[in-house]
Amino acid sequence: MSPTPDPKAGFDAALAAGFDRAWALLAAAPGDPGSGLRLPVVATAYAGESDARVMVVRAVDRAAHCLTVYTDSRAAKVAVLVAAPRVAVTGYDTPTRLQLRLHGAATIATTGNAVDAAWAALTAGGRTAYQSIQPPGTPVAQPQASPVPPPDDGRANFAVVTIVLDRFEWLDLAVPGHRRAIHIRDGVDWRGTWLVP
């Protein structure tokens, strides 16, 4: 259960500044190989089973409250996300000592202009992640030396996952006493409150 921010609470500049900073660090993460927020753990839960895996944050759009990751459409997590779109995304950036705990709903796209553009922007090396003959997670007798490109070059297996956030919690360990806050989205509005760390 997450706490409900008090809608009557007055504007808190430090709370707003902390939220802005956390979004800024998240938004910078896709272009910053040194950022721990670029490689968060994305957790799912379905039918009484939980699972979690590291994924690369490819894009962040604060105005749309979302972040984007890529995956193979045949991966086990995709079927899980279709059935149960709620995800938790958790990352820690060591240089700034900032932890983010984000929650939202995932949607998966395999066709359309945005997916085509994302695929076009991938390097040849990046595309190899989508070129296995068998689906990811298939038991095999030996590790594959390298993926074998099918005729379509892997495009048919490429999926863009958009996670629209509605809960954004940050924990700043860099300040004395630490600072923790949670922001809950209602439409386009985010309401935040400090939490005891």
For ligand FMN, the binding residues (CB under 6 A) are 39, 51, 53-56, 69-71, 75-77, 136-137
Nearer to ligand FMN, 87 or 182 (CB): 87
Shortest distance, position 111 Cβ to ligand FMN, whole Å: 18
Place of tokens 């009557």: 8
Residue 24 has phi, psi (to 5 degrees) of -65, -40
Shortest distance, position 152 Cβ to ligand FMN, whole Å: 19
Is residue 100 within 8 Å of residue 26, measured between CB atoms?
yes
* Amino acid identity, position 194: W
What does 94-132 look like in DSSP terms, one character per residue?
Answer: TTTTEEEEEEEEEEEESSSHHHHHHHHHS-HHHHGGG--
Is residue 49 within 8 Å of residue 43, measured between CB atoms?
no
Nearer to ligand FMN, 28 or 39 (CB): 39
Shortest distance, position 129 Cβ to ligand FMN, whole Å: 7
Largest Cα–Cα separation, the chain: 62
Place of tokens 């070059």: 153
Nearer to ligand FMN, 44 or 99 (CB): 44
Strands 86-93 and 179-186: unpaired
Shortest distance, position 62 Cβ to ligand FMN, whole Å: 21
Give the CA angle between residues 49, 130, 112 to the nearest 5°: 90
Nearer to ligand FMN, 51 or 61 (CB): 51
Nearer to ligand FMN, 143 or 176 (CB): 143
Nearer to ligand FMN, 73 or 99 (CB): 73
Q: Residue 155, SS3?
A: helix
DSSP state of 135: P
Shortest distance, position 193 Cβ to ligand FMN, whole Å: 32
Shortest distance, position 162 Cβ to ligand FMN, whole Å: 13
